[in-house]
């Protein structure tokens, strides 16, 4: 019996939606984490610009650079056998011009080994999405709460709560699908609105704080395993508290070093 693990592809994600199979997406930013996430059965790894906060300690995602994103994406793709890897285009790497957007998106595939890229924005990004897709690069779109635009949005707030705002999100999603997006992340959107968008689209919706009717879900790895404590969004479920176990292990190591209990003879070369 073959033990080969089939690589997840862009067409496969659309097939998963068609047959009602949920898509599991999760962030990863380094080789070791990506190895575990890939082996655990996740379908899509997002090398998110959220690393600005979870890995680099910044207050927002805005300052992270293309070079930093490529660096982390390369580390992830070295580990992955099965997951489809999406590189997150950082702020101002795609907004200035379509030509620059295509060039930077291409770098994720050419230099970092990613399978696709993600960018934020609705109808304002339709021409950019089309240009990137026309260059042969799959695009995961992202609407609702778009962290790169947090200054414009006035903070991390739920989007699409009014009838007018909900309709705008629906129209954004349809326009992005028409432009060639392979999937759309819906962040901090009322579940009822996300359900309508999911039903309207032939491409998968990936929810984060958008309810259970989406075709898949994505969470930030550090949130899910309890490694990031600055704030925990309402939509996060913590499946483990790795922070506590790490602190216990490190504390035990410090104690044994101080007491001379480590290293023992079995840890010493002769």
**Confidence (pLDDT) at 225:** 96
Residue-wise pLDDT tens for the chain (270 aa)?
A: 334 579 999 999 999 999 999 999 999 999 999 999 999 999 999 999 999 999 999 999 999 999 999 999 999 999 999 999 999 999 999 999 999 999 999 999 999 999 999 999 999 999 999 999 999 999 999 999 998 887 776 667 789 999 999 999 999 999 999 999 999 999 999 999 999 999 999 999 999 999 999 999 999 999 999 998 877 778 899 999 999 999 999 999 999 999 999 999 999 999
**Distance between CA atoms of residues 199 and 212, nearest Å:** 13
DSSP string, 73-139: HHHHHHH-SSSEEEEEPPTTSSSS-HHHHHHHHHHHHHTT--SEEEEE-SGGGHHHHHHHHHTT--E
Non-local CB neighbours of 97 within 8 Å, separated by 6+ positions: none
Judge whether 160 and 201 are in contact, CB under 8 Å. Answer: no
Task: Enter the tokens of residue 202.
Answer: 């032939």
With 0-12 CB in 10 A as exposed, 13-18 as middle and 19+ as buried, what is 152?
exposed
Angle between helices 126-134 and 98-110 (to 10 degrees): 50
What pLDDT does residue 1 have?
37
- Token readout for 252 is 């035990």
- Point out the catalytic residue in the list 163, 171, 187, 245: 187
pLDDT of residue 2: 38
26 φ, ψ (degrees, to nearest 5): -150, 150
pLDDT for position 239: 95
Show the beta-strand stretches assigned E in the chain: 23-27, 44-47, 84-88, 116-120, 139-144, 183-187, 205-208, 216-219
Q: What is the greatest pairwise CA distance in the chain?
A: 75
CA 10 to chain centre: 15
Q: Answer yes or no: are the C-beta atoms of 120 and 150 closer than 8 Å.
A: no
Contacts of 36 (CB under 8 A, 6+ apart): none
Q: Which residue has the tokens 């790795």?
A: 242
How confident is the model at residue 155, as a pLDDT?
A: 66
CA 127 and chain centroid, separation: 22
Distance separating alpha carbons of residues 176 and 197, to the nearest angstrom: 12
Which letter does DSSP use for residue 14 in this model? H
Task: Name the pTM for this structure.
Answer: 0.94
pLDDT of residue 152: 75
187 a catalytic residue: yes
């Amino acid at each position: 019996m073959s033990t080969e693990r089939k690589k997840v592809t862009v067409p496969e994600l659309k097939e998963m939606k068609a047959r009602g199979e949920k898509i599991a997406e999760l962030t990863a930013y380094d080789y070791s984490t990506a190895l575990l996430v890939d082996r655990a059965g996740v379908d899509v790894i997002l090398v998110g610009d959220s690393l600005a906060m979870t890995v680099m300690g910044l207050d927002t995602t805005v300052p992270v650079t293309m070079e930093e994103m490529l660096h982390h994406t390369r580390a992830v793709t070295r580990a992955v056998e099965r997951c489809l890897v999406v590189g997150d285009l950082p702020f101002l790497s795609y907004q200035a011009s379509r030509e620059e957007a295509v060039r930077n998106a291409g770098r994720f595939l050419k230099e970092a080994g990613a399978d696709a890229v993600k960018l934020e924005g609705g109808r304002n990004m339709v021409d950019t999405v089309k240009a990137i897709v026309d260059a042969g690069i799959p695009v995961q779109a992202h609407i609702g709460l778009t962290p790169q635009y947090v200054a414009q949005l006035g903070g991390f707030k739920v989007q699409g709560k009014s009838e007018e705002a909900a309709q705008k999100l629906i129209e954004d999603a349809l326009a992005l699908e028409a432009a060639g997006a392979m999937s759309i992340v819906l962040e901090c959107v009322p579940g009822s609105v996300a359900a309508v968008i999911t039903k309207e689209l032939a491409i998968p919706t990936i929810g984060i704080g958008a309810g259970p009717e989406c075709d898949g879900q994505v969470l930030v790895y550090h949130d899910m395993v309890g490694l990031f404590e600055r704030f925990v969004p309402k939509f996060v479920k913590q499946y483990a508290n790795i922070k506590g176990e790490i602190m216990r292990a490190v504390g035990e190591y410090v104690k044994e070093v101080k007491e001379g209990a480590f290293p023992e003879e079995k840890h010493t070369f002769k």
